[in-house]
Chain A
Amino acid sequence: MSKYLLKPLAVASLLALAHPLAASAQDADAGEKVFRKCKACHMVGEDAKNRVGPELNNLLGRQAGTVPDFKYSKAMEAKGNDGLVWDDDTLSEYLENPKKYVKGTKMSFAGLRKETEIQDVIAYLKTFSEAAGTPAETESKAEEPAKNDEAAAAAEPVQTAAASDGDVLPKDAEVPDHGVFHLGRKALPDEVEAWNIDIRPDGSGLPVGRGTVAQGEVIYTETCAVCHGVFGEGEGRWPVLAGGQGTLEDDRPEKTIGSYWPYLSTVFDYVRRAMPFGNAHSLSDNGVYSVVAYLLYLNDVVTDEEFELSNENFASIKLPNEENFIADNRLEEPAYAAKEEPCMKECKPGPVEITMRARVLDVTPDSEDDSVGAGAIE
């Protein structure tokens, strides 16, 4: 099977060699997909606003660090003042390794691994840049599409076939001796280690590491505050992380790490698992310890800025609301416990009155006001 597939692979390589243009052709549609990686922080197009990162309209031809009202790193502003203007070449280099090209940039994105992704996303951004010569690019792409697609189509199956037929599970391998159906293969220690990152309240699963409140403040301010607020108060509808102690019986309870969450391990697990939103897994283990230490400080669980959280003292720290969690006892509620044959006639004393009408009569998305709200669902 692999022999048979070698042929199109060779053709694909030849095509790529013979048509360097095809290999690096920019595809704005593909770029729109790549741009999803950027969307958590950047907006582009009509109504684009600065978010975690600056808006990207008219990026091509723009001097670096010059979008009004966006707070750039000093490094980016300096680069712009030194004459850095975003074009095909400068953007390509920046997107390949942002921190290398602009040392000290705020952009925490690690970079795009594939050259085609870089070219495609630039093509996409060009469609929002007046200064970019998009018509010419589109034409040159139009001349090549058939060959380009062929090359891609031919190359793809080869890779996947190699992956599933060759390296991972050879078809003619011996039948494994485990289980009932003898399906699957033994997981390798490195594989389990890569995915087995969950932490429990007893501290099991914690990596070796440490970080202080002060170190956490630096990371939090840089990475987390843009959504969660400088003091954990939550920007817009993003989750509030601090405060709210004593509000759980109020009309409007504020459920934060300090006021509601039962276990500190959940904070560590979740930050390492899924934060920062849009760039998960970018903090080191020590970085996570630091951020968690700072969150304890924001919630007054620790009060010393010198406090250091580590795998050694982690399990000894309790959150204040742990004891207020109880088991599911819904079935003890009167309506459930009764299990009576329901009333069918004259179940209410007299004619029924309307006591409340819908608050929101038309829930059609509202263009004027739909960026405001408090977040009913998280």
Chain B
Amino acid sequence: MKNEETDNPRRNGEGLENPSRRTLLRGGVAAAGGAALAAGLAARGAGAAISQHADPLITDVQDWNRYPGDGVDARPYGLPSQYEKDVVRRDVPWLTADSKSSVNFTPLHELDGIITPNGLCFERHHGGIAEINPVDHRLMINGLVDNELVFTMEDLKRFPRENRVYFLECAANSGMEWRGSQLNGCQFTHGMVHNVMYTGIRVRDLLNEAGVKPEGKWVLAEGADPSLMTRSIPIEKMMDDCMVAFKMNGEALREEQGYPIRLVVPGWEGNMWIKWLRRFEVGDQPWQQREETSKYTDLLADGQARRFTWEMDVKSVITNPSPQAPITHGKGQTVITGLAWSGRGKIARVDVSLDGGRNWQEARIDGPSLDKSVHRFYFDFDWDGSELLIQSRAMDEQGFIQPSKDELRAARGTNSIYHNNGIQTWYIKQDGSAENVEVSS
């Protein structure tokens, strides 16, 4: 390890396995891409404007036209169609030491709209998934308060509730890409983000119930999992828009998202959204916990490190087409779509480039435009079948513009791991397949 060549990507960020040792790789994607393209061509045959033969899918009576299917009791909790079974979270096992302290990725290339389905929200745990019976769960408030309090779940549900849609992005999302393009799929380069409607109560109400003393400036939030995850959060943020959520997208939080309750810290890095939340401590200084000193601090080229880099900056990515979702229909009318978000507010605009960032056109944002929520954008165009270098560039309502990766590297170096919001480039080849690349500036 000490004698690595300088261009060895093994230690990108905190380290990435040298792909040259992973012999299967090139063959693997060729096969997968080929299958997708073949399937696409078959579909084109049936759907093409000029057809020589009547389509038997139309002229023949199909099984599903004839035989009744399952009744209403067969699927008490509905699941996606069998034809969607590959739409799942995936991990990259060699990134971390143990699956109980690891991460997997949201399949962004399979989704549309702005809401992430509960079962597909990426997971990040530090001591595995805690399984807690809600009647056994307690939330404590202690420290610089007039009354140190304990709440049951029943107590919490008696506070006034609110519903808010927020994105949650891991600060390390795209962290493997600091040294250059690495992973071939937006699920892996950008999949540590999800967007959910939370139902919960205001942290402000909880803290006021205990009565924060004037010298109380920080709150330590703590989880009940085996890592007893902790982060220090300024009281202003907690009093502003933080929530204790017990529902996501209308149903109970999933266990892997912190059931029965998690902290919602809108716009700020996902690590602070403490899951299995069990305690708030009010203090006059930050606690300098592991996840805000040794981790989630951003090492710069000069050896200094930024700490408390909470906001997630303006960012976007094209989710389709992308390496896992090639263009399969050939030239002609084509939809480019993707996601944009900013921890500093709403997205004001998204631009798309087809030529690697030389020329840009404004994309169309469709669907709800909410504060600190992902925005869905589309760019509809007539593809002439030539090679493309597609990019998206987001601007938020405060006027911050998504930077290029080269601009980020010039300012920070390549060892920051966290907060990589640089513009992503997908190289679209003539056969419609896509690859993660970087381009000249």
Instruction: Report the minimum CB–CB distance from B342 to chain A (whole Å).
Output: 12
With contacts A236-B97, A330-B313, A342-B401 taken as known, whether A363 is within 8 angstroms of B92 at the C-beta atoms is: yes
Instruction: Report the minimum CB–CB distance from B430 to chain A (whole Å).
Output: 15
Given A179-B209, A198-B289, 19 other A-B contacts at CB below 8 A?
A160-B135, A163-B135, A179-B147, A195-B140, A237-B97, A251-B414, A253-B415, A266-B288, A270-B289, A274-B126, A280-B228, A335-B407, A336-B403, A345-B359, A347-B357, A355-B437, A359-B9, A365-B91, A366-B24
With contacts A326-B304, A361-B184, A366-B24 taken as known, whether A183 is within 8 angstroms of B15 at the C-beta atoms is: no
With beta carbons under 8 angstroms apart, the residue of B297, B302, B361 that contacts A249 is B302
B-contacting 9-mer, from A100-108, A119-127, A184-192, A216-224: A184-192
- List B301-331 residues whose CB lies under 8 Å from chain A: 301-310, 313, 323
Residues of the B chain whose Cβ atoms lie less than 8 Å from the Cβ of A209: none
For chain A, the count of residues having a C-beta within 8 Å of the partner chain is 100
Asked whether A179 lies within 8 Å of B22 as measured between CB atoms, the reply is: no
With contacts A192-B148, A195-B278, A354-B389 taken as known, whether A374 is within 8 angstroms of B211 at the C-beta atoms is: no
Residues of the B chain whose Cβ atoms lie less than 8 Å from the Cβ of A249: 301-303
Residues of the B chain whose Cβ atoms lie less than 8 Å from the Cβ of A373: 15-17, 93-96
Q: Is B435 an interface residue (CB 8 A)?
A: yes
Q: Contact mask A306-330 → B, CB, 8 Å, 1/0? A: 0000000000000000001111111
- List A323-372 residues whose CB lies under 8 Å from chain B: 324-330, 333-336, 338-340, 342-348, 351-366, 368-372
A-contacting 9-mer, from B53-61, B98-106, B367-375: B98-106
B-contacting 9-mer, from A134-142, A145-153, A254-262: A254-262
Asked whether A362 lies within 8 Å of B288 as measured between CB atoms, the reply is: no
Residues of the A chain whose Cβ atoms lie less than 8 Å from the Cβ of B93: 365, 370-371, 373
Closest residue of chain A to B127 (Cβ to Cβ) is A274
- Chain A at the B interface: mostly helix, strand, loop or mixed? loop
With contacts A363-B188, A366-B22, A376-B15 taken as known, whether A178 is within 8 angstroms of B149 at the C-beta atoms is: yes
Instruction: Report the minimum CB–CB distance from A321 to chain B (whole Å).
Output: 8
Q: Is B181 an interface residue (CB 8 A)?
A: yes
Asked whether A328 lies within 8 Å of B308 as measured between CB atoms, the reply is: yes
Asked whether B281 lies within 8 Å of A196 as measured between CB atoms, the reply is: yes
Asked whether B294 lies within 8 Å of A260 as measured between CB atoms, the reply is: yes
Q: Contact mask B1-39 → A, CB, 8 Å, 1/0? A: 100101001111111110101111110110010000000
Residues of the A chain whose Cβ atoms lie less than 8 Å from the Cβ of B136: 160, 163
Residues of the B chain whose Cβ atoms lie less than 8 Å from the Cβ of A371: 93-94
Interchain Cβ contacts under 8 Å between A and B, 6 examples: A257-B294, A334-B410, A342-B360, A347-B358, A366-B94, A376-B12
Asked whether A261 lies within 8 Å of B440 as measured between CB atoms, the reply is: no
Residues of the A chain whose Cβ atoms lie less than 8 Å from the Cβ of B188: 363
Q: Is A3 an interface residue (CB 8 A)?
A: no
Cα A203 to Cα B175 in complex, Å, equals: 33
Give the interface size class of chain B: 35 or more
- List A166-212 residues whose CB lies under 8 Å from chain B: 168-169, 178-181, 183-187, 191-192, 195-202
A-contacting 9-mer, from B237-245, B257-265, B392-400: B392-400
Asked whether A335 lies within 8 Å of B408 as measured between CB atoms, the reply is: yes
Select the residue from A278, A346, A366 with max chain B CB neighbours within 10 A: A366
Asked whether B294 lies within 8 Å of A255 as measured between CB atoms, the reply is: yes
Closest residue of chain B to A274 (Cβ to Cβ) is B227
Q: Is B159 an interface residue (CB 8 A)?
A: yes
With contacts A36-B128, A253-B299, A361-B184 taken as known, whether A198 is within 8 angstroms of B96 at the C-beta atoms is: no
Q: Is A55 an interface residue (CB 8 A)?
A: no
Closest 6 CB pairs of A and B: A374-B15, A352-B356, A373-B94, A362-B28, A179-B209, A335-B403
Interface residues of B (CB under 8 A from A): 1, 4, 6, 9-17, 19, 21-26, 28-29, 32, 90-98, 100-103, 126-128, 133, 135-136, 140-143, 146-152, 154-156, 158-159, 172, 175-176, 180-185, 188, 205, 208-211, 220, 222, 226-228, 230, 278-279, 281, 283, 285, 287-290, 293-295, 297, 299, 301-310, 313, 323, 351, 355-361, 389, 393, 395, 399-401, 403-404, 407-408, 410-412, 414-415, 417, 419, 427, 435-441
Asked whether A255 lies within 8 Å of B299 as measured between CB atoms, the reply is: yes
Asked whether A359 lies within 8 Å of B19 as measured between CB atoms, the reply is: yes
Asked whether A377 lies within 8 Å of B172 as measured between CB atoms, the reply is: yes
With beta carbons under 8 angstroms apart, the residue of A179, A263, A344, A375 that contacts B211 is A179
Residues of the A chain whose Cβ atoms lie less than 8 Å from the Cβ of B309: 328, 330
Cα A54 to Cα B414 in complex, Å, equals: 40
Residues of the A chain whose Cβ atoms lie less than 8 Å from the Cβ of B313: 330, 336
Q: Is A131 an interface residue (CB 8 A)?
A: no
